[in-house]
Amino acid sequence: MSALRQPDGRAGPTLERIVTRTFTPPQIPCDPDDRSNLLERMSALYGDFTDVSWLTDGPMVSYHDMVRTVVAELGPELVGVDLAITVDASPDCRHQSFPGPVLSHVLTGDPIMLGVSEQGVAGPFTALRIAHRYLRSGAATRALILIMEQSTLPPDDAAVRPVQDVVVALLLGAEGTIGLGVPTVMVTRTGAAAAMETDVDLLVAGTGLADLPPGVPVRWAEPGHPCAGVWLALADLLDSPPDGGHVLVADRDPVLPYRCAVTVTLPAQRPETPWQPAGVVAPPALRHRPQKVRELVR
């Protein structure tokens, strides 16, 4: 399916693939130096810890690990990716370097590398806006967005703490079957609720969202995800997608004044071919031939 056309006539990007991965220890071994370095860094920020169980019992799955895992899993599907964006909402447990250079190194070619950090639920929508602009303008042809959450963090008063180590990979290009609208990131400092799109068939909603449009079915994201919640829910939906329609993916950050949304357009499913027993080949349809009128000769 070709890319959907935008009002100005240009082709907009499509979602070619969405992949999620949840890491459970002890899948990835941890270097002891990483734990000591993290403790030193966090002690400088928070002061000395009387309880370091968050560190000793933490899974220590870094954003580096997530990057390498996704690239290894997608493999040949990443050929032609010339824009890569990492998204996170909290610090990494391995702080010696950023995940972006690791991703740039393991991808083929010389992709444009960007990172969006600590924007809460708005981070993935910001990354999608950037990718949408790059792909529509022709500055890039395919984009990879990695939305990452790691849970080895000291106790704090954050409104939402990651409960798992997860990554969601969004692969954007021109050859997908799922259309992407232009994402919106609205600032709502006054607390007034902006009007939400109602001409949709389904809403994938983050836990911070309220004042939902009436009459629209809702699929809620799981709690405990600072930025990946609605994208995990969308991936789950696309495992058994509805037969066509418009799906609004929307969320609101519990702390930052951001309200975000994007509409995805699902393709209509093709009708299934009637079942035939194994080894039986259906006879070709007979072509209709018009009958000639015969004249009787006396």
Taking only the tens place, the pLDDT of each residue in 248-269 is 999 999 999 999 999 999 998 7
- The predicted model scores a pTM of 0.82
Range list of H helices, 138-218? none
Residue 193 domain-assigned (yes or no): yes
Q: In whole angstroms, give the CA distance from residue 235 to residue 62.
A: 22
Which domain, by its residues, includes 234?
A: 184-266
pLDDT above 70: residue 175: yes
Say which CATH number the domain at 82 has.
3.40.47.10
Domain final residue pick, 176, 207, 233? 176
Confidence of residue 7 (pLDDT cuts 50, 70, 90): very low
Confidence of residue 295 (pLDDT cuts 50, 70, 90): very low
- Lowest average pLDDT, out of 5-9, 144-148, 212-216, goes to 5-9
- What residue has token string 């403790």? 39
Asked if residues 3 and 13 have their Cβ atoms less than 8 Å apart, the reply is yes
CB crowding 161-172: b at 16 or more within 10 Å, else e: ebebbbbbbbbb
Backbone angles phi, psi at 116, to 5 degrees: -120, 125
Residue 144 domain-assigned (yes or no): yes
Backbone angles phi, psi at 41, to 5 degrees: -65, -45
Calculate the alpha carbon distances from 38 to 27, 32, 183, 216 in Å: 20, 10, 35, 45
